[in-house]
Amino acid sequence: MNQLNSFETASDEPLYNIGIVSRMTGIPVATLRVWERRYGFPSSVRTPGGHRLCSEKEVIRLRWVKARVDEGMQTGQAIRALQHMEHEGRFDESSLLRPPQPTQTMPDPSLTTFRTRLTDLLLVNDLERADQLLGEVLSLYPIEDLMLEVVGPTLNDIGVAWLEERISVATEHLATNLLRQHLLMWMMTGPLPFAGIPPTVLACAPGEWHEGSLLILAVLLRRRRWPVAYLGQNVPLDDLGNLAHQVNAPAIIFVAMVEQSAAGLIDWPQHLPKVQNNKPFVGFGGRIFNEQPEWREKVPGVFLGETLRDGIQLLDKRLHTLLQPKP
């Protein structure tokens, strides 16, 4: 079947058995059976012999759902998004052919609105609607835009609200943990990584507990098919050095937000004696390096840039140069 066929003109006639549907969509047969049992999707009819048959339209719907899942959406959310769009009469399978989005220099106004809505929901502990909103954004935008224009700024908004004592510690923790859970899920369910490539190590500086930007970077790396070894908060440099050596990491990335944690990175070469001649590549970033640029000269390594978008682009380019992965 040609993907360019219009959904409106596609056939409703049940023609394709589950094996053919699997080949046409790239979805394993076992997964199709689980989706049908768990979600009642896709719709199919059974022959007198008990074999499932799907129509051309169902294949298009499956391709749309698979595209959303590949972008990081949970299966149930993707199916609900499809059904919601069909109910409103705005389902467009052409999104399957959506080209890579150009780098945006200014946030999409709609994304800014989503960010405000998400923050407002989290400030009043409405986790169910916040979760639904994340699914809605993911059905409309690439996951990179969701990360950089909605989730990252929302984490900052929540932190500011706590600093200004507009929310309790409990609310701040609840909101942050909801977003953290989504980030971890998106990191773990990324596309298959490049084969034979060792992982990039991601770690917060010693004494650094703010991991939001590091998690977002991990998700973006996985979406670009780079394996990651995510260490998270407050990582001792000796332990990090040993692990990086064991996994043969091509790159080590540090995040520091305040002076105290940035100061803990100044002597990282003493703890990673095997880092020589820029192998592995060591990069760093975080709020302190933006607010006080002089810290960029105090910490050895490469400053990744003032934004996460700058950081992922620089790191992706450097990894391609170092490792030259096969498609």
The DSSP secondary structure of 64-85, one letter per residue, reads HHHHHHHTT--HHHHHHHHHHH
Final residue of a domain: which of 188, 214, 245? 188
Mean pLDDT computed over 74-95:
72
Buried b (16+ CB within 10 A) or exposed e, 270-308: ebbeebeeeebbbbbbbbbbeeeeebbeebebbbbbeeb
Query: How many percent of the chain have pLDDT more than 70?
Result: 88
Final residue of a domain: which of 45, 62, 97? 97
Q: What is the mean pLDDT of the chain?
A: 84
Q: What confidence category does residue 276 fall into, taking pLDDT thresholds of 50, 70 and 90?
A: low
Q: Indicate whether 294 and 223 sit together in one domain.
A: yes
Final residue of a domain: which of 97, 119, 142? 97
For residue 2, being part of any structural domain is answered with no
pTM above 0.75, yes or no: no
Mean pLDDT computed over 256-271:
92
For residue 11, being part of any structural domain is answered with no
CATH of the domain at 226: 3.40.50.280
Q: Indicate whether 217 and 179 sit together in one domain.
A: no
For residue 86, being part of any structural domain is answered with yes
Of residues 119 and 43, more confidence is placed in 119
Q: Indicate whether 75 and 135 sit together in one domain.
A: no
Q: Indicate whether 154 and 235 sit together in one domain.
A: no
Mean pLDDT computed over 182-198:
88
Q: Indicate whether 74 and 114 sit together in one domain.
A: no
Q: Indicate whether 184 and 204 sit together in one domain.
A: no
Q: Indicate whether 231 and 275 sit together in one domain.
A: yes
Of residues 30 and 50, more confidence is placed in 30
CA distance 179 to 216: 10
**Residue 1 pLDDT exceeds 50:** no
Q: Cβ distance 134 to 143 under 8 Å?
A: no
Q: Indicate whether 181 and 144 sit together in one domain.
A: yes
Q: What integer pLDDT is reported at residue 272 of this predicted model?
A: 82
Q: What integer pLDDT is reported at residue 285 of this predicted model?
A: 94
Mean pLDDT computed over 247-251:
92
CATH of the domain at 36: 1.10.1660.10
* Number of domains present in the structure of the chain: 3
Q: Report helix, strand or coil for 119.
A: helix
Q: What confidence category does residue 130 fall into, taking pLDDT thresholds of 50, 70 and 90?
A: very high
The identity of residue 291, as a single letter, is E
Q: Indicate whether 254 and 220 sit together in one domain.
A: yes
Most confident of 37-46, 154-163, 166-175: 166-175
Q: What integer pLDDT is reported at residue 104 of this predicted model?
A: 41
CATH of the domain at 140: 1.10.1240.10
Q: What confidence category does residue 176 fall into, taking pLDDT thresholds of 50, 70 and 90?
A: very high
For residue 279, being part of any structural domain is answered with yes
For residue 216, being part of any structural domain is answered with yes
Q: What integer pLDDT is reported at residue 107 of this predicted model?
A: 47
Which range marks the domain in which residue 119 is found?
Answer: 109-188
Q: What confidence category does residue 105 fall into, taking pLDDT thresholds of 50, 70 and 90?
A: very low
The identity of residue 107, as a single letter, is P
Q: Indicate whether 114 and 92 sit together in one domain.
A: no
Q: Indicate whether 163 and 119 sit together in one domain.
A: yes
For residue 194, being part of any structural domain is answered with no
For residue 102, being part of any structural domain is answered with no
**Residue 24 pLDDT exceeds 50:** yes
Mean pLDDT computed over 16-23:
85
Q: Indicate whether 214 and 316 sit together in one domain.
A: yes
For residue 7, being part of any structural domain is answered with no
